[in-house]
Structure 1
Amino acid sequence: MVHINERDFDTMSVLIEGLSDAVSLRCLAQVPFYLHPNLKLVSHTWRTALQSQELFKAREELGSQEEFLCVCAYEPENLWQLYDPLHDIWMTIPVLPSKIRHLAHFGCVSTGGKLFVLGGGSEDVDPLTGDQDVSFATKEVWSYDPITRNWSQCKPMSVPRAMFACCVLNGKIIVAGGFTSCRKSIAHAEIYDPEKNTWVSIPDLPFTPNSACSGVVIGGKMHVVHKGFSMVQVMGKPCDGWMVKDYGWLHGPMAVVEGVLYVMSHGLVYRQETEKQKLVISAYEVRKRIGSAMIGLGEDIYVVGGVIGPDRSNRDITPTSDIDVLTVGSERPAWRQAAPMSRCRGTILGCTKLRI
């Protein structure tokens, strides 16, 4: 049973006439998240309830939590949107208050009902010196709380990072590899505890090519993949360190759907087993988009945004807000379109899932 904080709910008896505090809160917990802004207009009491941790604990207890996509694109600057797949709608959240213009090459994950944006920097070049390293990588960490609709700064990482691997294991955030400047890659890895707001170093990556890397979680283990290299570094428990495996995985955008890895390579989508691949479908519909994001949500793969590159009929580069969806578990997988992003467009700088 969810416990009510009496200091927050001193007028809960009139939240819903004729119902107890606990029952009223459980009723509100069943309301879809996209309707919350409207419900907050009903009364001060309702606003307090809808911004309470107790409400979201009730959503978890009742199994009424919802999964959203969190997306940040190049346009407009530092703006994030949430996509609700059940209602096929987009919601805009407050602009990330970083002082860095067009923050890019960051890590983004979610845990504990919050969105986290870590590291990254700007691709802008200093007009006086031509130096790109001034803000290429940072230590900063931001969290967004959808309950209060506020961004907060968290304890920074121990070193600046850009183009690094970032994943969540057992509710904690692990970052590894990447670059501290546009010329220097690192092997350092560390783990963040959101509840304690602390960072602790863990074993370094044993294999550190001068290449951008990304991370995926499969089977409860973090897998670090370096662009252009076949070696995959795997870690289950931080205390056990890393294992280096040569799986011969295909290279390209990756998405994990229900624990299975899918890769888009050379215009085709493959189901990637440990050391073999199985063709799923052609990605002809989306192959012309550059800088899009590919992510798994539920039983689906989403290909989000990007730019349409020049071809024989059009020499311009066109930013897009399009979303293409593939249900990989169906007998005959086929691409379909979802509602396009309502505000964002162009190259996708960050894309992750958020459970609220």
Structure 2
Amino acid sequence: MTALIEGLPDAVAIRCLARVPFYLHPKLELVSHSWRAAIQSAELFKARQEVNSSEEFLCVSAFEPENLWELYDPTHDLWITLPILPSNISHFARFSVVSTAGKLFVLGGGSDAVDPLTGDQDGIFATDKVWSYDPATRAWNPRASMLVPRAMFACCVLDGKIVAAGGFTNRRKSICNAEIYDPETNVWVQLPDLHHAHNSACSGVVFGGKVHVLHKGLSTIQVLENFKQGWIAHEYSWLQGPMTVVRGKLYVMSNWFIYKQEGESRRMIVSASDFRRRIGYAMIGLGDDIYIVGGVNGPDYWNCSVKVLSDVDVLTLGSERPAWRKVAPLTRCRGTILGCTQLRI
């Protein structure tokens, strides 16, 4: 068996390959069979952490095209198209997405297909299915199913484990159930139930080392700090709107301004009035920045047209005067964003 790089032990060669940017990995695999095996090995991704060459990406899926995901590389300002998610659910939507252990996880959700004759939903509303995408092998794999079928539920990563809570199950019934998944053992375990369910979608955010579950229109936020202790309900005067965490700080878009939430108080950071007509977008933090991704420009008083977007706008928070800028648009995904998260590879 030949060495990966002539004159170097394979352990050293792996650390050299680990410094090559992720977007070039498909080209490295063309060098030889041994290079292909090395690029797809767990050792390479472990070496990327050891030599501090890990990269952060955005993962995005939109209404068009169906079941397609793209990765955004902020260092090289380019998008990488992933293989199609091999789900047999048509018009897959209402799922949750997170990343942990160097993999992307897509959980729950159901079909958003509509019967063209009756206008009724033509498919299952919620499932318990879980998929993971491994960037080493660049393949999707089914994982252990959740204990309960879910759609429109809160999903977060705490201490490397995935917490799923609330949402709706089949027949659109709101639920209080919560569970936790260990990606190392591929096992789901029941958590204490939320204190209450609500007939609206819920979302989750990890902030201050705790999972916060929020229901639209409610000021009560249910907080999980300790897996055994269970949920604690708090009344917070947080603004309603899209939220994201950047460098441990919570940011909210409300009334077309970006605010930094500091405990019970808040501070306005910058105007977001340019997005006044924009709906169905994703707001997410990556590095020191806030990204506004995709969506649709809806009609207004002067213009009745609807424009499907692939735009990506970025707010850099580290500067003295935060300002918006545009980066490379989505290459294939367009329109309403169905899922968006970070992935560290």
TM-score, structure 1 normalization? 0.94
- Deviation, 1:248, is 1.1
* Residue aligning to 1:7: none
- Deviation, 1:207, is 2.5
Q: How does 1:172-321 map to 2 (within 5 A)?
A: 172-181=161-170, 183-321=172-310
Corresponding residue to 1:137 among 111, 126, 134:
126
Change (3 A) 1:126 1:160: farther
- Deviation, 1:158, is 1.2
Query: 1:205 and 1:147 mapped to 2: Cα distance?
Result: 36
Contact kept? 2:125, 2:172, Cα under 8 Å: no
User: Which consecutive residues of structure 2, in runs of 5 or more, have no partner in the other structure?
Assistant: none
Query: 1:145 and 1:310 mapped to 2: Cα distance?
Result: 40
Contact kept? 2:163, 2:178, Cα under 8 Å: yes
Residue type at the aligned position of 2:297: I
The reply on whether 1:341 has 2:330 as its aligned counterpart is yes
Query: 1:160 and 1:347 mapped to 2: Cα distance?
Result: 23
- Deviation, 1:311, is 2.2
Residue type at the aligned position of 2:202: C
Query: 1:153 and 1:183 mapped to 2: Cα distance?
Result: 24
Corresponding residue pairs, total: 345
- Deviation, 1:134, is 3.9
- Deviation, 1:287, is 2.7
Query: 2:204 and 2:150 mapped to 1: Cα distance?
Result: 14
Give the share of equivalent positions with the same residue, in percent.
Answer: 66
SS of match in other structure, 1:34: helix
* Residue aligning to 1:165: 154
* Residue aligning to 2:76: 87
Residue type at the aligned position of 2:136: I
Residue type at the aligned position of 2:281: S
128-137 vs 328-337, greater mean Cα deviation: 128-137
Residue type at the aligned position of 1:26: R
Contact kept? 2:94, 2:151, Cα under 8 Å: yes
Residue type at the aligned position of 2:344: R
Residue type at the aligned position of 2:221: V
Residue type at the aligned position of 1:101: S
Please provide the CA RMSD for this pair.
1.4
SS of match in other structure, 2:35: helix
The reply on whether 1:110 has 2:110 as its aligned counterpart is no
SS of match in other structure, 1:270: strand
Contact kept? 2:277, 2:300, Cα under 8 Å: no
119-128 vs 100-109, greater mean Cα deviation: 119-128
- Deviation, 1:286, is 2.2
* Residue aligning to 1:125: 114
